[in-house]
């Protein structure tokens, strides 16, 4: 009996909500219907294209697809949808670039360990968090050893890296390195010491004043010209430096916003208790400021993750770059939609994940403050 009543209630609740939001007036009702028809058309078209009339491994004649001419849509134009075989055939390149096939387990292992390295950082109520945090700090060394090589592992030069590996490497490392740097910059910008303050202001304003593409070009094209011939810092490393500097300037401004939201009274109270500057900053100011700044920080992180695709103009095969290389191959050429939809999907998964996380944090913040 009770469950029935509950069902009725919830039914009513949803019913009411729907009526209130979508069908309250004649105008709203007609807009809703138009939107539904539109969504239905787009949705069925996309699903049909991407799944129901798409090729995966076999074409409609049941043959294994080995090049673009065997795609159903190229045999019978207009009747069939996507030809996902290009993704299938080049999946390793989309994931690892030109990383040697027999060594890709190393990339897989570092991909697999990555969640463990960041989970401790993201969730504060995690059991055994101390160990996870510890792992966060040793992960970069493990990942470096795994990806680049060292004793007992063959060295894989970074010009062989590519695909999602490069995108994640630039995104994660850039964000990870930029975080401490940006805290220092944000604190420096609010410092009373004129030299430190002006250095930080100049740095932040300069970096924010130029597009990432300019920084990438500077790192990639100008830097080697200043160095003696034959001394060439790694291409990927140069891009990483540019990405890190760029991200730190933006993140610093996000953190400064958090710092400014801390009432002056709290700092004065801490000082009157005899806490030093560093104690005040570490125990009173930063924990609160960072909490406030988390949504804008995540925002800049999402931005940066997508910006990493700019490295393709300096000749790095990131996810987008390797996709273009796949399209340039005569075996698969002209399958633009498949490649770009796939790349968009991968980017969406990561960016959506980050945005969900930021939402989760915002909700948590709210309960903390109430």
Partner 1 sequence: MTKIKSLLIALLLSLGVSTAIAGSHGSTLDVVKERGKLMCGSNTGLAGFGNPNDAGVWEGIDVDVCRAVAAAVFGDASKVEYVPTTSKVRFTVLQSGEIDVLSRNTTWTVSRDSDLGLDFVGVNYYDGQGFMVKSSLGVSSALDLDGASVCIQVGTTTEMNLADYFTFHGMSYESVPVETNSEADAAYLAGRCDVYTTDASGLWASRAGYPNPSEHVVLPEIISKEPLGPAVRHGDSQWADIVGWSLNAMIIGEELGITSANVDDMKGSANPEVKRLLGVDAGYGAMLGLSDDWAYNVLKQVGNYAESFERNVGMGSNIGIARGLNALYKDGGILYAPPFR
- Provide the token pair at 248: 């730190």
Place of tokens 């300037």: 249
Contacts of 252 (CB under 8 A, 6+ apart): 181, 182, 183, 185, 186, 189, 200, 204
Asked whether the beta carbons of 311 and 169 are under 8 A apart, the reply is no
Residue-level length of the chain: 370
Q: Compare residues 236 and 286 and give the one whose CB is closer to partner 1.
A: 236
82: nearest Cα among 50, 52, 59 = 50
Interface with partner 1, residue 217, by CB under 8 A? yes
- Under the criterion CB under 8 A, does residue 180 sit at the interface with partner 1? no
Q: C-beta of 154: minimal distance to partner 1 in Å?
A: 14
- How large is the greatest C-alpha to C-alpha distance in the chain, in angstroms? 84
Asked if 317 is part of the footprint of partner 1 (rule: CB under 8 A), the reply reads yes
Residue range at the interface with partner 1 (CB under 8 A); choices 14-22, 34-42, 250-258, 324-332: 324-332
Angle at 76 between CA 74 and CA 82, to 5 degrees: 55
Strand partners, 161: 97
Burial class (CB in 10 A: 0-12, 13-18, 19+), 164: buried
Residues 39-98 close enough to bind partner 1 by CB under 8 A: 67-68, 74, 77, 89-90, 92-93, 98
Phi, psi dihedral angles at 20 (to 5 degrees)? -65, -40
- Smallest distance, Å, CB 195 to partner 1? 20
Residue 101 contacts partner 1 per CB under 8 A: yes
107, 186, 239, 316: which one binds partner 1 (CB under 8 A): 316
Q: Is 321 in the site for partner 1 (CB under 8 A)?
A: yes
Six-digit token pair at 134? 């510890």
Alpha carbon 58 to its chain's center:
33
Q: Which residues pair with 55 in a beta bridge?
A: 83
Segment lying near partner 1 (by CB under 8 A), choices 32-40, 174-182, 267-275, 322-330: 322-330
Going by C-alpha positions, the residue among 361, 344, 333 that lies closest to residue 67 is 333
CB of 103 to partner 1, least distance (A): 12
Tell which one of 331, 352, 359, 362 touches partner 1 (CB under 8 A): 331
Nearest distance in Å: CB 257, partner 1:
36
148 is an interface residue for partner 1 by CB under 8 A: no
Q: Which residues in 228-287 contact partner 1 (CB under 8 A)?
A: 228-232, 235
Min dist. Cβ of residue 228 to partner 1 (A): 4
CB-nearer residue toward partner 1: 96 or 132: 96
Binding residues for partner 1, per CB under 8 A?
67-68, 74, 77, 89-90, 92-93, 98, 101, 157, 159, 217, 220-221, 224-225, 227-232, 235, 312-317, 321, 324-331, 333-334, 336
């Amino acid at each position: 009996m009770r469950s029935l009543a509950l069902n009725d209630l919830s039914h009513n609740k949803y019913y009411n909500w729907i009526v209130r939001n979508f069908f309250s007036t004649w105008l709203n009702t007609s807009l809703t219907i138009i939107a539904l028809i539109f969504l239905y058309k787009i949705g069925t078209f996309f699903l049909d294209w991407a799944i129901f009339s798409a090729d995966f491994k076999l074409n409609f004649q049941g043959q294994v697809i080995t090049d673009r001419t065997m795609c159903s849509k190229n045999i019978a134009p207009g009747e069939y949808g996507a030809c996902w075989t290009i993704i299938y055939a080049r999946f390793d390149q989309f994931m690892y670039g030109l990383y040697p096939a027999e060594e890709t387990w190393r990339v897989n292992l570092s991909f697999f360990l990555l969640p463990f390295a960041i989970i401790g950082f993201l969730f504060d109520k995690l059991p055994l968090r101390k160990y996870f945090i510890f792992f966060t700090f040793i992960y970069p060394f493990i990942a470096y050893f795994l990806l680049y090589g060292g004793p007992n592992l063959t060295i894989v030069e970074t010009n062989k890296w590519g695909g999602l590996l490069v995108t994640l490497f630039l995104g994660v490392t850039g964000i990870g390195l930029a975080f401490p740097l940006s805290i220092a910059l944000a604190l420096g910008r609010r410092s009373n010491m004129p030299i430190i303050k002006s250095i930080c202001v100049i740095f932040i304003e300069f970096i924010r004043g130029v597009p990432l593409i300019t920084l990438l070009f500077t790192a990639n094209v100008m830097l080697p010209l200043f160095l003696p011939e034959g001394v060439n810092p790694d291409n990927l490393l140069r891009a990483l430096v540019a990405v890190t500097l760029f991200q730190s300037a933006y993140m610093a401004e996000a953190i400064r916003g958090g710092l400014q939201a801390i009432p002056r009274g709290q700092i004065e109270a801490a000082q009157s208790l005899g806490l030093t500057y560093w104690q005040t900053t570490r125990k009173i100011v930063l924990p609160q400021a960072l909490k406030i700044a988390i949504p804008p920080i995540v925002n800049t992180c999402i931005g940066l993750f997508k910006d990493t695709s700019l490295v393709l103009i300096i000749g790095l095969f990131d996810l987008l770059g390797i996709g273009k290389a796949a399209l340039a191959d005569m075996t698969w050429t002209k399958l633009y939609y498949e490649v770009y939809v796939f790349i968009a999907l991968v980017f969406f998964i990561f960016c959506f994940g980050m945005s969900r996380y930021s939402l989760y944090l915002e909700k948590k913040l709210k309960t903390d403050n109430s």
